[in-house]
Each structure stands twice: as C-alpha cells, then as structure tokens.
A and B are shown apart, each in its own frame.
Chain A
Amino acid sequence: MRTGEPYFAQTGAGAPAGQTGADLPPWGETRIVGKPLPRVDGYERASGTAVYVRDMALPGMLHGAIVRCPHANARVKNVDVSKAEKMPGVRAVITGQTPAAKIPWYSGDKGPTSWLFDAHCRHEGEEVAAVAADTPEQAQDAARAVSVEYEVLPFVVDHEKALEAGAPAVQEGGNRFGEPSVYQRGDVAAGFAAADAVIENTYHTPTVFHTAMEVHGSVVQWDGDRLTVWDTTQGVFNRRIELAQIFKMPLSSIRVVSLYMGGGFGSKLEVGKYTVIAALFARMTNRPVKIFLSREETFLCAGNRPANRIWLKAGVKKDGTLTALEARFSGPAGAYPSWDALSSYQISDLYLCPNVRTEEQNVFINAGKARPMRAPGFPACSWALEQTMDQLAAKLAMDPVELRLKNIPTVSQIEKNIPYTTTGLRQCIAEGAKTFGWSEARRGSRGDGHVRRGTGMAAGMWGWAGEPSAIVIVKLLADGSVNLNMGASDIGTGTKTVMAMVVSEELGVPLEKIAIEHADTATTQYAPDSGGSQITLVCAPAVRAAAAAVKAELLSLAAAELSQPAAALRLRDGAVEQTADGKRVPIADLKSLGERQLLIGVGRRAPHPAGKTALPFVAQFAEVEVNTRTGAVKVLRMVAAHDSGRAMSPLTYKNQVIGGFAQGLGLAISEQRVMDRQTGKVVNANWHDYKIPTALDVPTSHTCLPIDLHDTECNTTGAKGLGEPATIPSAAAIANAVCNAIGVRFFDGPITPARVLETLARKGA
C-alpha cells in the first residue's frame, strides 16, 4: 500500500439524502444486535447441505484442466496438443495460439504486461494451455499429455538478490516494481539528534499463503450473449466489472453468483485465469464448464502475502516519547505488477511521533504474484515496529505497556492530523493488560530449567474505513416475513448473520423469518468486495436504513389501521405493539399490509464523516513457553482487546479474533514459502509441507475482549472493522513473548525450532 493512500480507491460521492438513514438515532439498548446468536446458515455450512461452487454439476457440464509451466522462468518454444486432442472425452484445447485466448492480463499503467497464456512464463505454475473434457480425470490426463518445449531461462526468487547488479530481469524494465514510495513529515535527523535512545535493526518476515479451506474455481455458462459465472469470490460485483472489461461486454449481460464461500483472506479479490479459460471453453463447446484448481496450484498461482525486509530506526526520549521513526521496506510482488503489499502505515500513524520517514520498494521475482492477504503489509510492519517498541522500552528500563501508553495519538497524523471518530487504542492496551494480568505476569518467574515462559504484547491499527457504496433492499411480505436483499458475499465471516440481526433489531421480526438473497449480480444490488474489514461497517448501516424505511411505512399503516399515533407503536417479535399497554397485533394480521402485499425499503451507506477518519485499533497479549533444548515454541494463552466499534455479533466477532490470531501464529512460528535455490520451484506447495497451525498449536485459552465503543459517527450501527485487525499484531506479540522468555530477539521469522536452536547456538558460541 502507498502510504497515505486508502486501501481501495474511494469512488462515489455517497448516497442521495433520504436513503442512508443518516438521521436514525443510535440504538439504545438492543434486543438482537450484540447478543451471542448462532449463525443463520450454521446448519447448512456444518451439515454439508450448503451447495458451494465446487459442489455444482450442471447438465452436460465439462471439466477443464490447466497445463502449467514447471520452470521458474522459461520461454515456451512449442506446444504440441495433438496427442491430448485425441484422448478420450476431450472436447477442446486452448493454447496461446488460440485467437480467442489472446487476452491481455496483469495490465499495468502502460498497457498489458502479459497475456492469458504468455509465451514467456515468469514463474513456476504459469498457464501454458488448457483442456476441457467430459470428466475431471480425462481433463487431467489430457493436460498431462500436452507436450511443451521450453527454453529454460535464468531466474531469481530472492527479492534482495533481485536488486543486485546482474540479477536476471524478471520484467523487461528491470526488477524494481515502480518507484520507491516515500512518506515524510518533520525532520528525522533532528528527531534522532534529540533522542536519548535509538534502536536500529533489520527484520525479515516470510512469504506466506492464504490457504483458504475452499480452493479457487468457477462454473461458467453462456446463454446466447449472456454469461453466468458461479465463482469462489469475495465480491461478485467487482468480478463482473473485470469480466466485462475482459470480454468487452455490458455489465448487464454478466451475472456473477457466489452464494457460499469457503474463505478467501484476500486471495479471491481478483478474477482468475481459470474463470476466463472456462468461459472460453464454454463458448467453444456450447456447454457449461467447470474449472477448479488443485490445492497445489493455489500455492503457485493464487497469491501470497509477500516477504518483507524492513529496516527500522527509532528514537525515544528518556520519558518515553518518540522523537523519530525511519524505515525502509522492500518485498517481492512476484513476477507481475501486483497489489502493492508493503505497508509502513502503522509507523506513520499508530504512535505519536513528529518526525517520520518511510520508503517502500516492491520488487519483481520469478514467483507467483502477490495478492492482498488479511491486512496487507500490516502484520509485517507490526513485526518490526512492535519489536522495536519493546527494545526501546528495554533500553529505557520502562514497561512496554507504559511506553506505548506514552505515545497514543488522538488524531490521524498520516492524514494531516484530522481526528479519529473514536480511538480505543489506549483502552485496548490498558484494559487488555489488566485482563491479561500483565504486571503480575511480567514480575513472575520465567522458570529456571530449559523450558522458559514469557509474555509479550503488541498493539496495532488498520488503515481502511470502507468504500462508500452499498445498496440494500429489505422487503416485508404480507405474512410478516422478510427478504433481505444485499449484494455482499458471506465469505465465512458471518456477514449474513450480522445483517439479519440488524433487520431483526429494526423490524422485530425473528431471525428464522428473515430469508437472505445475496452475492448475485442479477438479483441483488452493488456491494463492495468482502475484504479490508469493510463489509460490516459499509453494509450494516445500509441494511439498517432499508429496514428503518420499511419500519416507518409499516408503523404509519398500523397507526392508521389501529387509530393510534405511530409514535405510540413499536415492533416486537413479529407484532405491532402498543407501547403503553402492550396490546399486540401480529404483523400478518394488518389488513393494510395484506392489501399491499409488500413493503420495500431501500438503504444506502452514508458518506464518510467529513474531516474525520474512522479506524479500528487493537492490542494483543500472549504467553509462551519455549523449550531451549528442542526449540519448540508453544503459545499458552492470549488476550485480544479490540476497538472495532460496536461488537455486533459476539460469536462471529470471537471467531474473527481467534482465526486472526491463529493466522498470526502461523506467521510467527511455522509458515513460510520455501523455494528451491537450484530451480526456483516451491518445495512446500502443499498442505503438509506448508505448516499452518493445527488445533493443537493454537492456545487453549483465548480471551476476546471487545472494547465496546460505539462509533456512531462512523455509521448508524456504531461498528468498525475487525477481520484485519484480528491478525495485525499477533505475530509481533508472540515474538515479543519469546524474547521475554529466553532473552533472545528474533528479527527474522518464522521462529521455528530450527531458528530457535540455531540462534541460541550462535549466541552461545
């Protein structure tokens, strides 16, 4: 991310007055929102009755398989499909020579940088050809029978080596992806001169993967000139825009649907080549076509959170006030222009500091392109910044919690000191420390044998307040049941549950009577991608506004029918209730509703609050045990204090926090892409060699502590984002705890048993 720029380009000026519910008062005491209610689709998801795209089978559907380059860098000399074409069940074959497949890809500012099938494959796994056949097995067999002749080229897969003189050029223009982006305020030299203590170090974080439970794929069907795509995506509307550009079609002719999603973490925020290949096959064969990636393919071609190298220098006065922060970031974009995944945002904004300079440089290497991953860039930044804060505290002999509390801003320094709507950073740190028992734990024994205990913490923030656009329709039917019509995908986070709770809160209709239509461009309205921790804060107010519009109309109908002032009525448990005496008329019994059959409310998100910024904050605490003889690190317990505004749905809130911490745990101690230095190929592109934490690795004690500050300036529900902050400081907190346990700081992650033992051996030697 470019420092100071928002997470996604902000589009649209907001909504017409009257549909945003901007005049709705904040909820007082709530009956549904904020209560620990189970997911509305929990049964379907857990029992297997939910139909995911992977489960779909259409009549006559073909299956595609993709031929991929096995080399890190190679030119395709010849593709011979003659054998594959004759294999049983094969219906069509596509290569770079197929005219319809001449589709630009990874377009940069200066035109396309590549093609759907590029004759120059710049990383292992790049697409070379594809086959469609009657069964997936036949397609795979035929794909294996495609014979490709390559000229193998020199490669570079280490982003630091890629910048050295003489490194093989990944892109024609060289290995720097763009100019370094620089942010600056104050005077860092003066800041360091005024410092009583300075810490300067270089940190490395590994390249890690999203590894969502559901792999990537699509089912595609043409009906004349109209295209329908069932896709594993975090946002049907943005996929529709991309497909419209690729196929030069009107938006109205494309339908993208994604009813159940098995996770994305950012790797499903862009259209896949597999989708377009399936569409080409479907056109050629006049059949529906399904293509799904294998788990292994997702490791090569579905994005990653790139490694970071961060040099960070920090200065502080004796009393703990920061005087200067200076940092240089670099990391691999992969082989093509990608999401700019470096982020020094927190260095510039998390703590009060007058003098800051940061520089970020993305680098091309011969590896799969990076994609945004849960808080792109932020966990790596925390790894460096939060370890630096602990080192400064140690130098000043100050408690790390105290040092952080000395530097809490109330304005956004990176946005020219505009205020935050709310900031719970101080409460997150202070109340988190109290709940964790921080002071006692830090005074307690670390053990005297070879197994040591330690505690650590880290704070953080997220830098995106959501897109302005979302349109929601709420329909109240004659029998008192409700359709909630919203475009957002529920990628597993519980979006449907949260939104149904908002409807239920407003209309007093029980959750069971609310049916949700969502994530279908043909039948629902625009919503942004489910990414960047924006869906709750963008869509929930739109849902509330739509429901409130229905409520107002219903109450006025009821008022006329019951000869009562509307203000004397309220909606409760499916009935209109007279506030004074509790007299109830079930909604379904209202004659005026029966005559109309349907009430409709439209809701939109209100614009961002002018002159303010609304962001979530977090502090996480961890206790670890380190075996200095075997190198094993075990996290015993964690406390996560989050200011994400109102905790709309405590159960899914806790899910996010536990999941975010578990992902941070993987980044901290076990996950890393390993590339073979001899061939540039990934050696651990599978779920066994790539080590995500298991149920036995996550701590048995999780405490999720919502700092329940209702941010009613941010939106009418008071909610801010949570998905990203949940993983931002986790790895850093663990690294700080390990250092507290054994007195050794790990600048480079992950802190595997091997790294622990090697570092201890070096230190002992």
Chain B
Amino acid sequence: MISNFAYVRARSVAEAVKALGTKGARLHAGGTDLMGCMRDGIFEAQKVVSISGLKELKGVSARPDGGVKIGALTTIADIAADASLAGKYAVLTQAAAEVASPQLREQGTIGGNLCQRPRCWYFRGDFHCARKGGDMCYAAEGENQYHAILGGERCFYVHPSDTAVALVALQAGLTVAGPSGTKTVKVENFFVGPDKDILRENILAPDEIITAIVLPPIAGSVRSSYRKIRARRAWDFALASVGIVLQYEQETVSKARIVLGGVAPYPWRAAAAEKLLVGKKPDSAVAAAAAQAATEGADPLRDNGYKVEMVKGAVEESILALA
C-alpha cells in the first residue's frame, strides 16, 4: 500500500522540471511503473509530479530531415498502431506491440518505458539488494534464471524495456529538458551499467525529463524486425529479444544493427554479429555464423545459460526472416 505523498499536476515542462527539483520528487507519466514501485516499497516519493496533461509531449510527427519525432508521452499502444512508423521503423512498432498487455500499452508511455525500473525479482521483492542501497546482489548466487548473461557486474538485472532495444537498433536520439535547458543524447548512450553506477539505470538527473524521441531518417532499402521470447505470450518481459535493422544494397547487407534485450543491464549491441553480416548475402550459413557471434563474451550465471542458445535461435530466425 502506498504511503502519503504530495501531488503536482504540471502545466508546462518548465514547471515540471522546477517541481522535480525538490527532494523526494518523482515524475509521473502513465504511472504504470511508478505506482507499482511505490506500492511495493521499492522507493518512496514525497511528491509526485504528473506531466500527463502536457499535450505537447504527445504524438508522432514527421521532421524536416525525413526523420520522425515521437513525444515522450505517446502511449505504447499509439506507437504500435502508428501507420507512419509501421514499414520503415517496423522494429519499433513490433517491439511496442510486444510490450506487456493491451491495458498497459494504452496507459504506459514511451518515455516511461525507457525509464522504468528493473524487474529483477530481488529488486522488486522484499530484499535489500545492492541496487536499493544494500550490500549484496542476491541474484549473483541466488535464483538467477532470468538474469544477465552479458554486462552484469555486481548487479545482474536485465533491462526490461522492449522499445529501448528497438530504439538503439534505430540509432534514435532523446531530447532531454532540465533546469539549464534542453540537450540531446543518443539512446545508446542513455543507459548506465552497474559497473558505472549501481543505483541508477540511466543518465537522467532527478529533475530531467525526456521530452521526445527522435528517429533518424531512413534512406534506401531497410528491413527491420523485433523478436521477443518469453515464458508466456502476453504480460511478460523478454527472456531474450533481438532487434535487427539491416540496410540492403540489392541482396547484400550494407549496414547492420543487431541489439539484444533481456540479456544485459542495457540494450546490448551484438557488434561482432553486425560485422559478420556486412557485405554478405544473409543465407543460412551467414545467419548461423552471426547468431554464433551475437553472444560473444557471454558469461552466464548458474541458471541462465539457456539464454545463450535462446539468443542464437532468435538472431538466426530473425535474420532469415528478413532475407
């Protein structure tokens, strides 16, 4: 049950930024993750600052450069159904469609999806783990079948966001508003691994707000997809997922982005696999080799070794499906 808090409904981004500057303030977009965290006592909020009334942060629009701007308050459902994104940015609409359940997609926003807290069952449960300021990661030696095989260190959560994987694959950028104005940052550089800071998952200061996601223009022949594997077919986070964006010159791949979800504390670029694809016609031998390379460096814990095989399977299936 949620403890008492003050509630502010911001009328502008500037007002929200200001309200967030006070101690214990938390930003509220759709509230689907925030309220769950507060109810479960993952963190407390003295003040909840809602931006849900800010119309200027909603919607998908074309940019002069041919790219697309997505307001941070655009719901996951709207992104999944957006016709202007559907073909070119298929990896994103497919990822959005795989998020949670219809109710959560209607309520949850893309900004909130990127900033949601980890779903590690120790972090979300009654365990004072390192990410909550405690002195140990329970997953390291505990029940770690859902945890990281890549990039884990001191803490082994996997980043829960499906859309983040797609956005990294698309080389998207973020517009961030703060007390000293706005800045832009690549989604790829937005996340913070546990090796750098165990208490946070991204670079945002408490009084910074994502206002928009910016997708670069897509030129030429690009094919993309998102494949997600989970324990049940709805209302579930990825056991492993893969977002792929391939640029083709005739039948040959000229540029490749392969990003993995559900296996690392942030969307994980499978750089070796990308490299293998470039300049090749992705037949089954190439797909198998890329799949093999995708998990290079994986260091499974006791119970999550299956994810290595799972990623290989998903990468191979995805490459062949796009060919």
**C-alpha spacing A688/B121, complex, angstroms:** 10
Residues of chain A within 8 A of B306, CB atoms compared: 631, 753-755, 757-758, 761
The interface size bin for chain B is 35 or more
Determine if B309 and A757 form an interchain contact, defined as CB atoms under 8 angstroms apart. yes
Looking at the complex, which of B60-68, B140-148, B209-217, B271-279 is the stretch in contact with chain A? B140-148
Determine if A136 and B1 form an interchain contact, defined as CB atoms under 8 angstroms apart. yes
- Give a binary string over B295-317; 1 marks a CB under 8 Å from any A CB, 0 the rest: 00000000111100110111011
- Judge if A630 is at the interface, Cβ distance under 8 Å: yes
A-B pairs with lowest CB-CB distance, top 5? A629-B313, A140-B1, A696-B233, A757-B306, A683-B121
Instruction: Say yes or no: A697-B310 contact (C-beta < 8 A), given A140-B1, A676-B142, A754-B145.
Output: no
CB pairs A–B below 8 angstroms (20 shown): A136-B1, A141-B3, A628-B313, A629-B314, A629-B317, A630-B310, A630-B317, A631-B313, A634-B233, A674-B143, A676-B127, A678-B141, A684-B121, A686-B124, A693-B232, A694-B233, A694-B235, A753-B229, A753-B231, A754-B306
Residues of chain B within 8 A of A223, CB atoms compared: none
Residues of chain A within 8 A of B53, CB atoms compared: none
Nearest opposing residue in chain A for B101, CB measure: A694
**C-alpha spacing A761/B306, complex, angstroms:** 8
- Judge if A35 is at the interface, Cβ distance under 8 Å: no
Q: Is the interface of B mostly helix, strand, loop or mixed?
A: loop
Determine if A691 and B232 form an interchain contact, defined as CB atoms under 8 angstroms apart. yes
Which positions 660-701 of chain A face chain B at CB distance < 8 Å?
670, 674-679, 681, 683-686, 688-689, 691, 693-697
Option from B119, B236, B305, B314 in Cβ contact (under 8 Å) with A758: B305
Instruction: Say yes or no: A677-B121 contact (C-beta < 8 A), given A137-B1, A630-B313, A757-B306.
Output: no
**C-alpha spacing A266/B127, complex, angstroms:** 30
With most chain A CB atoms within 10 A of its CB, the pick from B2, B101, B126, B312 is B126
Option from A141, A683, A686, A755 in Cβ contact (under 8 Å) with B143: A683
| A630 smallest CB distance to B (angstroms) | 5
| A141 smallest CB distance to B (angstroms) | 7
- Judge if B239 is at the interface, Cβ distance under 8 Å: yes
Determine if A632 and B125 form an interchain contact, defined as CB atoms under 8 angstroms apart. no
- Give a binary string over B85-115; 1 marks a CB under 8 Å from any A CB, 0 the rest: 0000000000000000100000000000000
Residues of chain A within 8 A of B124, CB atoms compared: 686, 689
Which positions 614-635 of chain A face chain B at CB distance < 8 Å?
627-632, 634
Residues of chain A within 8 A of B314, CB atoms compared: 629-630
Residues of chain B within 8 A of A686, CB atoms compared: 124
With most chain B CB atoms within 10 A of its CB, the pick from A630, A670, A678, A688 is A630
Nearest opposing residue in chain B for A677, CB measure: B142
**C-alpha spacing A628/B141, complex, angstroms:** 28
Determine if A681 and B234 form an interchain contact, defined as CB atoms under 8 angstroms apart. no
Residues of chain B within 8 A of A694, CB atoms compared: 101, 232-235
| A710 smallest CB distance to B (angstroms) | 39
Determine if A629 and B1 form an interchain contact, defined as CB atoms under 8 angstroms apart. no
- Give a binary string over B33-62; 1 marks a CB under 8 Å from any A CB, 0 the rest: 000000000000000000000000000000
**C-alpha spacing A159/B234, complex, angstroms:** 32
**C-alpha spacing A694/B232, complex, angstroms:** 7
Instruction: Say yes or no: A627-B313 contact (C-beta < 8 A), given A694-B232, A752-B231.
Output: yes
- Judge if B122 is at the interface, Cβ distance under 8 Å: yes
Determine if A753 and B310 form an interchain contact, defined as CB atoms under 8 angstroms apart. yes
Nearest opposing residue in chain A for B126, CB measure: A70
| B33 smallest CB distance to A (angstroms) | 12
Residues of chain B within 8 A of A761, CB atoms compared: 305-306, 309
- Judge if A450 is at the interface, Cβ distance under 8 Å: yes
Determine if A677 and B143 form an interchain contact, defined as CB atoms under 8 angstroms apart. yes
The residues of A with any CB-CB pair to B shorter than 8 Å are: 70, 136-137, 140-141, 450, 627-632, 634, 670, 674-679, 681, 683-686, 688-689, 691, 693-697, 752-755, 757-758, 760-761
Nearest opposing residue in chain A for B237, CB measure: A688
Residues of chain A within 8 A of B305, CB atoms compared: 758, 761
| B108 smallest CB distance to A (angstroms) | 14
**C-alpha spacing A625/B122, complex, angstroms:** 33
| B126 smallest CB distance to A (angstroms) | 6
Q: A629-B309, A629-B310 are in contact. List 4 more A-B contacts (CB 8 A).
A: A137-B1, A676-B127, A679-B127, A681-B125
- Judge if B138 is at the interface, Cβ distance under 8 Å: yes
| A431 smallest CB distance to B (angstroms) | 31
Residues of chain A within 8 A of B235, CB atoms compared: 688, 694
Nearest opposing residue in chain B for A689, CB measure: B121
Determine if A696 and B234 form an interchain contact, defined as CB atoms under 8 angstroms apart. yes
| B323 smallest CB distance to A (angstroms) | 15
Determine if B126 and A681 form an interchain contact, defined as CB atoms under 8 angstroms apart. yes
| A699 smallest CB distance to B (angstroms) | 12
Residues of chain A within 8 A of B313, CB atoms compared: 450, 627-631
| B80 smallest CB distance to A (angstroms) | 15
**C-alpha spacing A632/B317, complex, angstroms:** 13
Residues of chain B within 8 A of A670, CB atoms compared: 231-232
Q: Is the interface of A mostly helix, strand, loop or mixed?
A: loop
**C-alpha spacing A73/B1, complex, angstroms:** 25
Residues of chain A within 8 A of B101, CB atoms compared: 694
Nearest opposing residue in chain B for A68, CB measure: B126
Residues of chain A within 8 A of B143, CB atoms compared: 674-677, 683
| B124 smallest CB distance to A (angstroms) | 8
Which positions 182-205 of chain B face chain A at CB distance < 8 Å?
none
Determine if A757 and B138 form an interchain contact, defined as CB atoms under 8 angstroms apart. no
**C-alpha spacing A693/B141, complex, angstroms:** 28
**C-alpha spacing A496/B145, complex, angstroms:** 45
**C-alpha spacing A387/B194, complex, angstroms:** 45
Nearest opposing residue in chain A for B311, CB measure: A630
Residues of chain B within 8 A of A691, CB atoms compared: 231-232, 236
- Give a binary string over B136-162; 1 marks a CB under 8 Å from any A CB, 0 the rest: 001001110100000000000000000
| A519 smallest CB distance to B (angstroms) | 30
With most chain A CB atoms within 10 A of its CB, the pick from B2, B310, B312 is B310
**C-alpha spacing A632/B119, complex, angstroms:** 21
**C-alpha spacing A358/B239, complex, angstroms:** 40
Residues of chain A within 8 A of B309, CB atoms compared: 629, 631, 757, 760-761
Residues of chain B within 8 A of A679, CB atoms compared: 127, 138
Residues of chain B within 8 A of A681, CB atoms compared: 125-127
Nearest opposing residue in chain B for A696, CB measure: B233
**C-alpha spacing A630/B304, complex, angstroms:** 13
Residues of chain B within 8 A of A675, CB atoms compared: 143
Determine if B310 and A631 form an interchain contact, defined as CB atoms under 8 angstroms apart. yes
**C-alpha spacing A679/B138, complex, angstroms:** 9
**C-alpha spacing A204/B306, complex, angstroms:** 20
Determine if A629 and B316 form an interchain contact, defined as CB atoms under 8 angstroms apart. yes
**C-alpha spacing A474/B194, complex, angstroms:** 69
Residues of chain A within 8 A of B234, CB atoms compared: 694-697
Residues of chain A within 8 A of B121, CB atoms compared: 674, 683-684, 689
| A749 smallest CB distance to B (angstroms) | 13
Residues of chain A within 8 A of B229, CB atoms compared: 630-632, 753
**C-alpha spacing A689/B36, complex, angstroms:** 14
**C-alpha spacing A693/B234, complex, angstroms:** 9
Residues of chain B within 8 A of A684, CB atoms compared: 121
Residues of chain A within 8 A of B145, CB atoms compared: 754
Determine if A697 and B233 form an interchain contact, defined as CB atoms under 8 angstroms apart. yes
| B94 smallest CB distance to A (angstroms) | 16
**C-alpha spacing A675/B1, complex, angstroms:** 24
With most chain B CB atoms within 10 A of its CB, the pick from A450, A677, A689, A696 is A689
Residues of chain B within 8 A of A674, CB atoms compared: 121, 143
**C-alpha spacing A696/B145, complex, angstroms:** 23
Residues of chain A within 8 A of B125, CB atoms compared: 681, 683, 685
Determine if A676 and B1 form an interchain contact, defined as CB atoms under 8 angstroms apart. no
**C-alpha spacing A676/B145, complex, angstroms:** 12
Which positions 20-40 of chain B face chain A at CB distance < 8 Å?
none
Which positions 119-137 of chain B face chain A at CB distance < 8 Å?
119, 121-122, 124-127
Residues of chain A within 8 A of B303, CB atoms compared: 754
**C-alpha spacing A595/B1, complex, angstroms:** 59
Residues of chain A within 8 A of B138, CB atoms compared: 676, 678-679
Residues of chain B within 8 A of A450, CB atoms compared: 313
